[in-house]
């Protein structure tokens, strides 16, 4: 949700593309807590999550000129960068996330700060949207997104054909987009 008087993300990205470091600082202020929570969930290491968080914002700075609004929100762009770095790190060490302190990283009900604290509405909407998904589709989506499993790994883990896994993950993403009021697409897209 955009508050009045707050500069839209797209304007910040435009400034960032011109080298404005204050725009980067504002984006960092807005999104670093949520991105850090995602990275911590994926990597199970505070040090690695902090390192990847910094790398993600450096990459955002470098890639700002390539950002295209029609391909997704600034948040999605940033989280894609962070998730890519985290998955690369996980694959390089041959690991999967398990636990951080007393947090069960495989429990989607666990509060991990994945939503902006200044907007509890987002948390409610996302939780409701996830719970509207078919349980098997939700599980596949969570394992692909948070745990970094590839489609082929998911097919093997769940004893499903690869095409079925791809279809279910795609369907879950489209349903989430629909439930959250995002741009409508068809399954053929």
Mean pLDDT, 10 residues at a time, the chain of 189 residues: 60 94 94 90 89 94 89 88 89 60 43 45 70 88 80 90 90 81 52
Residues 160/150, Cβ–Cβ less than 8 Å: no
Domain CATH code at residue 40: 1.10.1740.10
Domain CATH code at residue 167: 1.10.10.10
> Which of 91, 114, 137 is the last residue before a domain boundary?
114
Q: Of all helices (H) and strands (E), which one includes residue 47?
A: helix 46-63
> Which of 114, 138, 165 is the last residue before a domain boundary?
114
Domain with 16, as residue range(s), is: 1-114
State residue 123's pLDDT score: 60
Say if residue 46 is in the same domain as residue 99. yes
Model pTM greater than 0.85?
no
Q: Is the C-alpha dihedral spanning 142, 72, 52, 1 positive or negative?
A: negative
> Which of 59, 87, 114 is the last residue before a domain boundary?
114
State residue 6's pLDDT score: 60
Residues 177/132, Cβ–Cβ less than 8 Å: no
User: Helix (H, G, I), strand (E, B), or coil: what is residue 99?
Assistant: strand
Q: How many structural domains is the chain composed of?
A: 2
Phi-psi region of 150 (alpha: psi -120 to 50; beta: other; left: phi over 0): beta
- The first and second tokens of residue 175, run together, are 């349903």
């Amino acid at each position: 949700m955009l508050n009045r008087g707050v500069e839209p993300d797209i304007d910040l990205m435009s400034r960032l593309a011109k080298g404005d470091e204050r725009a980067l600082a504002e984006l960092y202020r807005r999104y670093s807590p949520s991105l850090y929570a995602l990275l911590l969930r994926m990597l199970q290491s505070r040090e690695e999550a902090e390192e990847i968080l910094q790398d993600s914002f450096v990459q955002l700075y470098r890639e700002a000129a390539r950002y295209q609004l029609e391909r997704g929100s600034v948040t999605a762009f940033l989280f894609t960068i962070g998730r890519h770095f985290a998955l690369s790190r996980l694959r390089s060490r041959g690991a999967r996330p398990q636990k951080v302190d007393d947090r069960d990283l495989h429990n989607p009900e666990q509060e991990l700060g994945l939503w902006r604290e200044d907007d509890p509405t987002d948390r409610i909407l996302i939780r409701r949207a996830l719970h509207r998904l078919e349980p098997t589709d939700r599980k596949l989506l969570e394992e692909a997104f948070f745990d970094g499993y590839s489609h082929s790994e998911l097919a093997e883990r769940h004893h499903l054909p690869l095409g079925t896994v791809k279809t279910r993950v795609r369907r879950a993403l489209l349903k989430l987009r629909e439930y959250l009021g995002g741009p409508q697409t068809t399954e053929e897209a």
